Amino acid sequence: MIKIALIVSVISIANPEKAPNIDVATFYDSLQECHNRLDELKTEVNAIEITDNEKNRFLRLENREYHHRNYIFWSCKETNVN
């Protein structure tokens, strides 16, 4: 069964050698449902919308903490779920 996964990636700016933390937040039945959630997140967390060369849509939020600085990315990806 094909589902659309809402992917959350956290990439460290302070420690670029560290592997990114990648999670699947939830699954949706269609790409439109996932993009609707991205629309909600964009306003809820004041994220910046970006697109890559392949027209994939991402949201990006810079997260600054006392000892850490990172970017949080959200994106929708088609995946197979068994």
pLDDT at 51: 95
In contact, 74 and 59? CB cutoff 8 Å: yes
> pLDDT truncated to tens, each residue of the chain (82 aa)?
789 999 999 998 877 788 889 999 999 999 999 999 999 999 999 999 999 999 999 999 998 877 778 999 999 999 887 6
pLDDT at 3: 92
Task: Please tell me the distance from the alpha carbon of residue 79 to that of residue 14, in angstroms, as a whole number.
Answer: 31
| For the chain, domain boundaries | 2-80
pLDDT at 82: 67
**pTM of the full predicted structure?**
0.85
